[in-house]
Every structure is written in structure tokens, then in C-alpha cells.
Amino acid sequence: METFTGRVKPTAAAEDMDEDMEEDMEEDFHQDIARSSFADMLHDCDRNNKYYQGIRAAVARVKARGEPVIVLDIGTGTGLLSMMAVTAGADFCYAVEMFKPMAQAARCIVEKNGFSNKIKIINKHSTDVTVGPEGDMQSRANVLLTELFDTELIGEGALPSYEHAHVHLMQTGCEAVPHRARVYAQLVQSEELWSWAHLHPVNVGSSRLLPYPALTRCAGSHAVCDIQLSQLPSHSFTALSPRLTMFSVDFSKPVSSKPQTYSCKFEALCSGQAQVVLSWWDITMDPSDSIVCSMAPSWTYEDPCAAPWRDHWMQSVYFLSEQSSVTKGEELCVSVSHDDYSLWYSLCRQSSHTCAEVPQPSCSCLAHLVWNRPRFGELNDQRRTQSYVQALCEVLQEDSVCLSVSDGSLLPLFAHLLGAKKVFSVESFRMNRQVIEQVLEANQLTGCVELLGGHPEHLSSEEIQGLQVSVLMGEPYFSSSLLPWHSLYFWYCRTALAAVLRPDAVVLPCAASLHMVAVEFKDLWKIRAPCGMCEGFDVSPMDQMIQRSLEFRESREAEPHSLWEYPCHAITHSMEVMTFDFTQCVPKQPLTSQGALPFIRSGHCHAVVMWMEYHLTEDITVSAGLTAPLGAQGQCQWSRHQKQAVFFFSSPRDTPAEGIAHLSYSYTFEPSLGDIQVDFNILPAQ
């Protein structure tokens, strides 16, 4: 999960993006606070309640032994768990928090709730904490509280932190909350998920574009793919194994961070292609495993509606190094290995008797370093590809000279295969060029597309052999883009390249349009909503700190989210609010759009969602947002390959019945910045 998001200037070349880094440091500091996941955790009632139950039980067990209860809370955040411990009867708590703004907030919250005499906030990494008369802690603790987990369980360094704590900070035989964690896995066949890690053959007219051999053999990136598996439709995967318990960790005993491998044997449930391992974990808060907080996706529950929602912990997808056929009833073995911070999975046949230890995956083909997983999915989207192929068929002539501007794009290969006379492609990054060169070589097309370095805005006529470009094309896709309108960099390139374009040159896409819709989220609103009270404790200083950071600059801006993972329904119609004509140069003056959009159903207006649609020709459009008309009840179907821009209101706005209120909007595109400023208000109908 991306806990924090950065910003980028659409007008800037990638190599120039760090020029303003120093002046942005204060802004990034506030952004880190404003867009952290602390609010999401505070809204996670299931998590909070289970922790509280476990803490009460642990404190009671220590008291029953006649010992004073000394608590160490590692990664205290708001201080919530420490306040729970004191309320449960702990004698003293040492609360460790390395993130300075969070440690300051914890002090305010602890003081506001009257616990300053029982809780000491230590602004350090736990491995730097000292024990003794002159140390941070007067004595070792006998209750260990932690919240050091991420979607992969160990990705935030939980194992080294536990290992150090047991050796240096905790008493022997201590209590721990959580007491234990278990990791689960399920082997599946899923063509959709598999398309996020490998390039499939692409049909281009009568030709077939193949991936290069090194890509097909590559184990891929070791980075975890974390998603909301509950939103993955059941028809998009087939379970080949039962749900497997891979390993567990007892946090009340010394923990080792040394690399380890665990295996689990099973019989295949059905025949198919073993491609992907789905994984999640749970934590039990007590030794009897009666208090369980589970990250299992909703489709593992008898009643899917009973599954708690959380965004700070999701589920993980691991891609096998290669797909392999399995037969129903076949004896198989799934192995999971881990180091300090990450997990990886492998599959072996029982006939081999032992599952050999598999090294951590690493990309050897470069493609996984160039294309992220949504990008792989986008390149493998046949419907999207055919839209570009159809558009190119409409605009290409036998004498067409094409110039492509996009990052790591197959579009110039399509143009060549469809009959263009000459094709140039600007690939600013060396690694991108290397990947495209390998695709060309694998398809006996070496030299058919001339790959150019540098940046499009600096392209000279000599680099394209003095030719005039008749087709300027782009997806557009740029790896540095965060928000939908950052792809307008293509427009700036088109403007800079005006001198090398023929007077009658075709620009593809010929235009882009910005669209909006107001939505009510089922759950995502929680990541930005104030918490106020949490389990009986006043955490409003945290809300105030986030709000101050939002007001620094973020309050009038949107942030990127993959909305296919977050159910919502529209409470207005969708609307096109701005159009950008790529056949013309970028204007000198700002473009503005104002208006009002009536609410068509009552509900809570949590946010406004925005996305771009690219008009390849007058009749062919590719959407990076809604991919189907809104449903009868406002159901939204979002692109899985692109993130949409979400403008959250500071608090949910109640929208009354149809026709009683409307959403006013104001957009300003400032050409000198290449950015779009937005403003929204909910007003009564006139």
C-alpha cells in the first residue's frame, strides 16, 4: 500500500523533477502527516477492539502473578495501546515512536487524556532505546505491545524489532499483544492477475507481437503486490489448493529475523495452471487464540459482509516465477521464504521429495523495472490495444512518418506492423529503450523503429533525419505521472515539437477530456475522516495535526487512488468538465471551467472523482476512469490500470433528495504550471 503520495510537475522532464526538492521539504513534511494511514487505523474498530481485549487479558495475567505491570509499546502512534494498558491496570508504559510529528501528537493525546504520569513517550527507534537508571526505561518490561505490521506482516521490520526487544528490553517469560501471527496462502490460477507480471502476445492486425525470452523466464520483481482481494471477482481466479497455514510466529518468545523457509503439502483441488499465490495473515491477541484479528478477504467468510474493512492492512499477491500445469489430486508443495522484510513463494512437486530453497525473486529482464504491475495489465488489455490499433489503421498512410512520445510504449511497434513508412520513438530512459529493443529483437524487427534518447521537447530535426512528422502519437503514458492530468505532458511535447510536424500532421490522441462525478464511498472515506473519540479515548489532537497539515497546501488538491478496489456509488451524473485540444499548441492563457452538477440521489458526498479520457480519433475513446455507464443505483466500474484523482471533502456532506442541492465546481488549468486547481462546494438548489 502507498501510505504517502508524492507530487510531480507535468511541465517538467523527469530528470528535472528534483530541482525544487529543497523548497518542497516543508511541504512533504506536512504531506506525510496529512496522508498517513493513522486515521484509517483509528477507524478500524475490529482492530482496536481486539487489541483492547488482548491488552486487558495480558495485564490481568501479569497481575495474577503478583508482578507490577511494566509495558513497552513499540510503534505507539497516537499512544492508543498504551492508554488502553493503563486503563486496564498497567503500572507504567514506555511508548516508543520514531516518527517525530507522531511522537509529539502522542504526547498531546496522552496529556489530554490524563495519562502523562503513567506513560512516557520515547521518540526513538526501539533498537536505540536504553534500559537502566540513566536510560530511557528504568527497567525491562513484562508486557510487549506492538503494531509493527504491514500487508506482508513483516515489511516494516517487525522481526528485527521483536528480536532486539526480547534480548534487550523485555523480561524473560513476558506477555505479548499480539501473542501470535499466522500466515496463510492459496495457490490459484488467474489469467487476470498473471497479466500483471508477464507480457502476453499481442495481436496487431495480421501480425502477432511476442514477448522476448528473458521476460518469459524472469522471476519478476520481489516487491509485494498488495491489493484489496475482497474486490477481486470470484470468477477471475480458480483455487488450486485449499487455504494453507504456512507458518506462525510467537511474539511472547524470542524471535529470529534470520531467513527461513516453510513448506506445506496438499493435493490439487482441480486441474489448471498454477500461476499466483494469494496470501494474508491474522494475529491472535492471547495464548488461547480466542481473540483473532484476521486480514482474510471477504470471500473466505461464510457471510462476506461480516469481513471488517481496513486499508492499512490488505492482502498480498505473489507471482510464481513461471506458470505450470497441475492435475486434480496431484500431490504438490507450496513453500514460503522470508528475510528481514519480505516474503516470496514457490511451488514444487511432491515427486521431488524435497522443496529446494528458492532465492528471492529479482528482475533479470529489466521489464519489471520499467513496467509496474498496473502497466503490465494495461499492456495486456486486448480491448484497449485494439482501440489503438483501430485508431492507427484509420490515420496511417503508406508514406506516414510517425513519432511516438510515451514511456515504455509498444505503440511505435504497432505503427510499424500496420504499415508506417518510418517510425521514431522517444524513450527518455535508457532502461526503457533496452526493453523495447529486446521486444524488437524477439520479433525480428530490429531497426524497424528508431529509438531516440533525450527528451521530446529537446528533439532536433537532425535526430529524425530531417523528416517531417505526419503522425505524432502517444498513449499517453508517463511513469512519473501521479494524477490523471499529469499526462498532459504529452500536450507540452506536442507544442515543443511543432516545428518538426507537417502542417497536416495527425495527432493521436487528438484530444483529452477531464471528467468528474461525486461519490459516496462504502469505506474509503475513513482514511480522511476525523476520528475524535476512539475506544473511549480522545484522539482529537491527531485530527487537528492532520487538519493543520492539510491546510498547509493539500486542502484544495486531489490524490490518486485505484478505485476498482474501493466500492462507491455515484450521487451525481458523470460530466465532462474540460477539454484539451492536442491538435493545437498549449495556450498561453489559463483554461477555466465552472458550473454546477445536481445531485440525483440522497446520501453522503464523501468525494469528487476525476479522470481523463483520451480521444484517439473522433470515434475512438479510451477511458482511464469509468469504463462503463453508471449503474441504475450509481454503481461505478473503474479502470484497473490507472489511478483516478479523488478530492475528499474534510467531512462527509449529506446530500438531500434529488433536486434539492447541487455540487458547484471550479477548474483552472494553468499552462505555466501544467497543473489543474480545483474547488468544490455543496449548495442548495436555486
Provide the residue type at 575 as one letter: M
> What are the grid coordinates assigned to 343, written together?
516474503
SS3 letters for 568-595? EEECECCEEEEEEECCCCCCCCCEEEEE
Please indicate whether residue 15 is annotated as part of the active site. Answer: no
Burial class (CB in 10 A: 0-12, 13-18, 19+), 165: buried
* CA atoms of 489 and 10, how far apart (whole Å): 5
Query: Looking at 2, 27, 111, 156, which residue is catalytic?
Result: 156
Question: ∠ CA 481-484-489 to the nearest 5 degrees?
Answer: 55
* CA-closest candidate to residue 427, choices 402, 450, 445: 450
| Contact in structure between 11 and 20 (CB atoms under 8 Å) | no
| Contact in structure between 232 and 188 (CB atoms under 8 Å) | no
Burial class (CB in 10 A: 0-12, 13-18, 19+), 593: middle
* CA atoms of 539 and 411, how far apart (whole Å): 52
Handedness of CA 505, 473, 425, 212 (dihedral sign): negative
Give 500's DSSP letter: G
Report whether the peptide linkage leading into residue 476 is cis, meaning its omega lies within 30 degrees of zero.
yes
Ramachandran angles phi, psi of 128, nearest 5°: -100, 0
DSSP SS3 for 321? strand
Query: Looking at 97, 147, 554, 557, which residue is catalytic?
Result: 147
Number of Cβ atoms within 10 Å of the Cβ of 246: 20
Provide the residue type at 560 as one letter: P
Residue 45, Cα to own-chain centre: how many angstroms?
A: 23
Element (H, E) at 452: strand 450-452
* CA atoms of 681 and 686, how far apart (whole Å): 14
- CA end-to-end span of the chain: 43
SS3 letters for 214-248? HHHHCCCCCCCEEECHHHCCHHHCEECCCCEEEEE
Residue with cell string 525544487: 20
DSSP 468-514: PEEEEE-----TT--SGGGGGHHHHHHHHTGGGEEEEEEEES-EEEE
| Contact in structure between 321 and 214 (CB atoms under 8 Å) | no
* CA atoms of 298 and 451, how far apart (whole Å): 47
Ramachandran angles phi, psi of 433, nearest 5°: -60, -40
Please indicate whether residue 670 is annotated as part of the active site. Answer: no
| Contact in structure between 404 and 411 (CB atoms under 8 Å) | yes
Burial class (CB in 10 A: 0-12, 13-18, 19+), 413: buried
DSSP SS3 for 1? coil
* CA atoms of 679 and 376, how far apart (whole Å): 34
| Contact in structure between 573 and 517 (CB atoms under 8 Å) | yes
> What are the grid coordinates assigned to 307, written together?
469481513
- The torsion angle over the Cα atoms of residues 478, 479, 480 and 482, rounded to 10 degrees, is 90
DSSP 129-145: --BSTTSSBSS-EEEEE
* CA-closest candidate to residue 38, choices 464, 529, 500: 529
Ramachandran angles phi, psi of 444, nearest 5°: 55, 40
| Contact in structure between 445 and 413 (CB atoms under 8 Å) | yes
Which residues are the active-site residues? 147, 156
